[in-house]
A and B are shown apart, each in its own frame.
Chain A
Amino acid sequence: MKALMSLGALVGVVGLLLLAGMIFDVIPSNTIRLVEGYMPMQMLFEVGCYVLGFTGLSYMLNAMGMGIPRFWQGIGFWIFFLLYIKYRVYPPIPFSVRAMYGTVGLVAVLMWVSANEEDWKKFKQPILNVLDAQTGFNKVLRYVYLIALPILTWGFSYNVMMPKSEEPIELRTVHPAPPASTKVHGKTYVLQTSLNPYRVNTEGKYDQEYSNSLIVEQGMGRLMKPNANPWDEKAEGYLKYVREGGEIFFQNCHFCHGDNLNGRGLHAFAFNPIPANFTDPGTIAQLQETFIFWRVAKGGMGLPNEGFPWASVMPPWEQHLTADEMWKVILFEYWHTGYYPRTWD
């Protein structure tokens, strides 16, 4: 047990040193990268290791007679967590999300320190000591709080009320609800039921299963499956259309959406937000092909009211491409990213 706790303590100390290095910019926070894409278990795992590390550290310090009071354990862990989400996670998390996480962290700490009567007494003792002010130090501290708390409250209120010159926050709806149908080049497409006419097998029949089996493999490499190379001259059906879609993509779309479809094309950083990252599991992987067709055809200008603040500069591609070309581009995007379009069967 002791050995285990010592190991935990070591983990805790190393972790704290690493975090301190990141806070003071000695170690860049992307030195040990958090895995992008898919469910980021690494972050939760890391925080879990810290929790175990701190448990070990607390145990060892107690064994050495240098135990940290519960009050400071609670406050310390919360501050650690705030620093972790600010300095460890890269790219930086917006304040709104940090505020949410910070609140959850605070609630968790309070639940922990008040889970039983003994711990709760230990936790609130320093607060009661200051309020009771039985010693000179506590008396001074009480006066400091008496003066500091109203000033802090005033400062906070002033900061909130003060008119700001910075751009306001945006509650952007990235995926507004599409219309029931859309008219492109004189033809009406019902979004709930329309299908990509090029998602076909070698016999020319619509075959979702067949096309799904030929997309690139998921994972960081996104490798093509054996015998599923669209650029093979003999490729027929679905793969042939993927190739044609790819050609259209690289002639028209990759300048913004990037040659890896990750939204980081040549022109991408002229825009804010940068163009959609199709490799993110939260974009095309969540949507029906017809939704993408509608967005491609109508562009940023065709966004409905719900799409406030319409922060998209994508041109309405129906003015430049045929419906067939747009369907093929969409086919290529799903193939290249290794995602399946959403279906409702």
Chain B
Amino acid sequence: MGVVTRKKLFSTIALGAMVVALLLPIVMALPSPATGEEAPVAEGAQKEGEKVEKARDVYYKTEGIVVGAPAPKTTDGPADYPRYNFESRVLLWFANQQHLYYGSFVLAVPIFCMIIEFMGVVTKDKALAKRYDQLAYDFIKISLTAYSLTAILGGILIFTFLTLYPTFFSYLSSIFRPVMHIYALMFVAESGTLYIYYYGWDKMKEGFLKWIHLSMSVILNVIGTLLMFLANSWIGFMMSPAGVDEQGRYLGNIWHVIHTALWNPLNLHRILGNMAFGGGVVAAYAAYKFLAAKTDEERAHYDWMGYIAMALGVAFLIPLPFAGYWLMREVYAYRQQMGITLMGGLLAWLFIIQATMIGILFLSTNYYLWQAMGRMRGAEKYQRYIKYLVFLLACGFMVFITPHTMVMTPAELKAMGGQQHPVLGNYGVMSAKNGGINVIITTTVLSFVWYMRGNKVSTVSWARFGNIFMGVFFACAYINIIFLAIYGYYIPANVRVGLSVPQVATTLSCLFFMFTLNSMMMKGAKQMGPIEWGKISARSQYALIMLATAFTWMMGLMGYIRSSVRLFWHVNEIMRDNSPWAYTHTVGFAANVISANVLFFWISILFVFWLGSLTAKKAPVESKVGVPGAIPQPAGSH
């Protein structure tokens, strides 16, 4: 057996082992009747002489056999709430947030690796393919150190739960008992797959083996996503419990417990959020390396890396507000009070801060793209129009952040003549805000289109018509978005909620149709000059760092909002929080803790980056043959 064949055989076996590792927990999760036995719980319940008690599911309204104990009624004391001389909730908050940051990062980065590695495999340009491969490797290298830290933080989180909230944690574990070990096994499968994927990189770099390697990344990501779905089911259960009766007694159907009212919207929102966050962190890493770079080659590489990470992050950022909108819609549908507390009541001001963060994300993205146009010859023609894009973005941003209930002194309130400002107060409602954010996203799409054609002149015969069509399309999109935002005031609320669909459709049409049309127009286009990677302003890199920081801040903020909407419940309407900390923090205190979390994450991730840089450096990808000293040109990357 030749060396190559042996390698193929081993790698195929490794891939098979990963599939088995993935399937094992799923097989274990299958209900026992599949093997011809009765479920142990039902068996126990049906023992002769024992009374079978039935109860109604709080959410699904189905009847089930009671198999669990009621949710404990806790009291403030060392039995239910042992504590250090510090607020237990803040400790748990910190442990949870840090675990989530790292968890999101290590779940997102392998997805990037998969995409970039795939791009490398299918790219015909060998130099470019190598660069993609190197980039994917750089990404996974960063995530590997972060992975250990994620596991450590997960352990700290569990210990914090066990130490400070033992009664609550034991109740939650009793509900999720059927899947607790599956979660742990999935973690083992994830670790094994990740290490084989990383350490097998050089051994499986060509031909059939490369495809096997790529398949491993798919399995790695499937496992990671399932892990996240399972973790999401816990928070979904705490917010919108199902599968239990009014007393919190488990009714034997684990799928009901997992598949709560908010599980799916949370899953989607978190996938997109993780990806955008991961992109932001990698872009910040690249920005940091760019700013610290000593040579033109390094600058070119990290400029390109930053661009790719930013583009991937933003690709997931664009649909994120829509996923958030769906989540909020489901929250309102689940409990009106919860929705009002979030967006109209107690937590509404945090939503204004969130809107500000979203605005900053898009503004940073646009700014980066305008800066990036500076490294292309020919892009100057768009520069004079940038002020109009700034105007559109600023208008959309102002509408988006205008609070419905304004902070003011009683004197200002009197001068204004009422609680709502008669002119600007109208920006505070959803209809206007939908218009605002869609204008911002459409403008971002326009900036991307300009960037994509920055150094190119279309040579297709219908170029003039194409340009006019694109201009008209964008103009119509803006008109439609603004028209629908105004029209939203004239129709019933339930129809208005549905009105977001054509607005989103308009924005996404711009994204897909204009990108496609632009690509068609730019096929075989005349290049005014190459993209001079590395020759970008330092300001652009600060924009990337800003993007990543805003992501981190927003994740912390939204996590806090989502968690605190339960108010004084551990499990909404099922298990009351009777600790001394069952109150909602002031906006200022929450903002300080979130900021401290952000700061700690960035300090620790810098440490991770530094650790990553200690590993043996791979040989830098050589510049194009025949052009000594030239900066590599992955011009087709966009």
Contacts and interface: CB of A to CB of B under 8 A. Distances in A.
Interface of A: 34-41, 43-44, 47-48, 51, 55, 89-97, 100-101, 104-105, 107-108, 111-112, 114-117, 119-120, 166-180, 191-192, 212, 218, 263, 272-274, 276-277, 280-283, 285-286, 288, 291, 306, 340-345
A281 B394 CA distance: 24
Interface string B41-80: 0000000000000000000000000000000000000000
Across the A-B interface, give the 7 residue pairs with the lowest CB-CB distance, nearest first: A340-B492, A94-B408, A342-B493, A108-B394, A177-B337, A177-B341, A36-B422
B423 interface: yes
B539 A273 contact: no
Contacts of A274: 417-419
Interface in B416-431: 416-429, 431
Contacts of A191: 336-337
B494 interface: yes
A315 B297 CA distance: 74
Given A41-B486, A97-B402, A171-B407, A280 B363 contact: no
7 contacts: A91-B421, A94-B421, A100-B402, A171-B405, A177-B346, A277-B418, A344-B494
B407 A281 contact: no
Nearest to A94: B408
Given A91-B415, A273-B413, A340-B492, A282 B408 contact: no
A314 to B, nearest CB: 13
Contacts of B202: none
A167 B245 CA distance: 49
B390 A166 contact: no
Give the residue among A41, A89, A116 with the most B Cβ atoms within 10 A.
Answer: A116
Contacts of B420: 277, 280, 282-283
A206 to B, nearest CB: 16
Given A40-B423, A341-B492, 4 more contacts: A100-B398, A116-B383, A167-B410, A282-B404
Contact of A48 (B338, B391, B414): B391
B422 A105 contact: no
Contact of A89 (B332, B415, B423): B423
A236 to B, nearest CB: 23
Given A173-B348, A178-B337, A191-B336, A34 B423 contact: yes
A105 B401 CA distance: 13
B419 A172 contact: yes
B340 interface: yes
Binding site of A, secondary structure by majority: helix, strand, loop or mixed? loop
A95 B428 CA distance: 16
Nearest to A101: B398
Interface string B130-144: 000000000000000
Contacts of A281: 426, 429, 431, 489
B374 A116 contact: yes
Contact of A176 (B340, B386, B413): B340
Given A39-B486, A281-B489, A272 B414 contact: yes
Contacts of B125: none
A272 B348 contact: no
Interface residues of B, number: 80
B386 A38 contact: no
Contacts of A95: 408, 412
Contacts of B409: 94, 166-170
B494 A343 contact: yes
B587 interface: yes
Nearest to A50: B391
Interface in B507-529: none
Contacts of B399: 44
A64 to B, nearest CB: 19
Contact of A175 (B345, B349, B492): B345
A340 B416 contact: no
B491 interface: yes
Given A39-B426, A112-B387, A306-B341, A276 B419 contact: yes
B403 interface: yes
B617 interface: no
Contact of A166 (B346, B404, B411, B419): B411
A192 B336 contact: yes
Contacts of A90: 423
B246 to A, nearest CB: 13
B429 A104 contact: no
A94 B416 CA distance: 8
Contact of B370 (A43, A115, A170, A286): A115
Nearest to A172: B405
B168 interface: no
B397 interface: yes
B345 A173 contact: yes
B585 interface: no
Contacts of B345: 173, 175-177, 306
